């Protein structure tokens, strides 16, 4: 896996960076959508992905949807702060908007997978890494299946990834258990204010 090189973000500025990660289906995008709704002033990084939009997803809101060639170009031009392949698609964080906000001392929230969180840990050790955990494995399977957005073989791939991701919890600074979306949002916003 290639890792982004040549980050221009000086370490201390990354203090205001919060990374939310956790297994697929745990509720990361639900939490982010709730923050977007209840706290529209909190700036959330919008990732680039080669995955097709799900019903209800809008280009530029949940993601910027690009094709493989477009993603290759962003990687080649060093435009991504981090990127990873996840369950057959590629996802990455546009570098510039994040760096601009951090340079101004503004809080930044990234919702990314474990591989991306590890890259951020390597390039910006001062970032705070938050692990979103499910109340239990059965509940995670229920959420991932209940979302109804993926065919069975994709769900299987995501559950395989989830097993690996759950084992990485100890690499994170903080764990939040997603029992209540409201509670998690409150805890996450409090962490972001406290950096």
For binding to ligand 5GP (CB under 6 A), which residues are involved? 24, 28-29, 47, 51, 82-84, 86, 91-93, 111-113, 115-116
CA dist list (Å): 125 to 55, 63, 186:
36, 25, 24
Cβ proximity to ligand ADP: between 4 and 25 the closer is 25
Query: How far apart (Å, rounded) are the C-alpha atoms in residues 28 and 195?
Result: 21
Instruction: Answer with the entry of ligand 5GP, ligand ADP, none that 112 interacts with (C-beta below 5 to 8 A by kind).
Output: ligand 5GP
Nearest CB to ligand 5GP, comparing residues 18 and 47? 47
The answer to whether 95 touches 82, Cβ cutoff 8 Å, is no
Site residues (CB under 6 A) for ligand ADP?
24-30, 143, 146-147, 178-181
* 3-state class (DSSP) for residue 42: coil
Closest C-alpha to 147, from 26, 6, 15, 40: 26
Residue number closest to ligand 5GP, CB atom = 116
* Contact criterion met (CB below 8 Å) for 26 and 181: no
- The single residue listed with the structure tokens 């057959």 is 88
Smallest distance, ligand 5GP to C-beta of residue 104, A: 21
- State the minimum distance, in angstroms, from the CB of residue 98 to ligand 5GP: 10
Q: How far is the CB of 30 from ligand ADP (least distance, A)?
A: 3
CB of 145 to ligand 5GP, least distance (A): 14
Of 99 and 111, CB closest to ligand 5GP: 111
DSSP state of 59: B
- Closest approach, Cβ 27 to ligand ADP, in A, equals 3
Rounded Cα gap, residues 48 and 124, in angstroms: 20
């Amino acid at each position: 896996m290639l890792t982004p090189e040549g980050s221009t973000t000086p370490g201390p500025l990354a203090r205001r960076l919060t990374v939310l990660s956790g297994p697929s289906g745990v509720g990361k995008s639900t939490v982010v959508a709730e923050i977007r709704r209840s706290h529209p002033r909190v700036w959330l990084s919008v990732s680039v992905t080669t995955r097709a939009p799900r019903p209800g997803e809008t280009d530029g809101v949940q993601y910027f949807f690009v094709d493989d060639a477009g993603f290759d170009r962003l990687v080649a031009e060093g435009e991504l702060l981090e990127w990873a392949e996840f369950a057959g698609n590629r996802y990455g964080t546009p570098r510039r908007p994040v760096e601009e906000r951090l340079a101004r001392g503004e809080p930044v929230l990234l919702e990314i997978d474990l591989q991306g969180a590890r890259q951020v840990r390597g390039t910006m050790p001062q970032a705070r890494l938050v692990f979103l955990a499910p109340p239990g494995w059965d509940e995670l399977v229920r959420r991932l299946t209940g979302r109804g957005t993926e065919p069975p073989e994709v769900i299987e791939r995501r559950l395989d990834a989830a097993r690996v991701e759950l084992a990485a919890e100890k690499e994170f600074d903080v764990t939040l258990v997603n029992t209540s979306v409201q509670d998690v949002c409150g805890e996450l916003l409090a962490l972001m204010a406290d950096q």
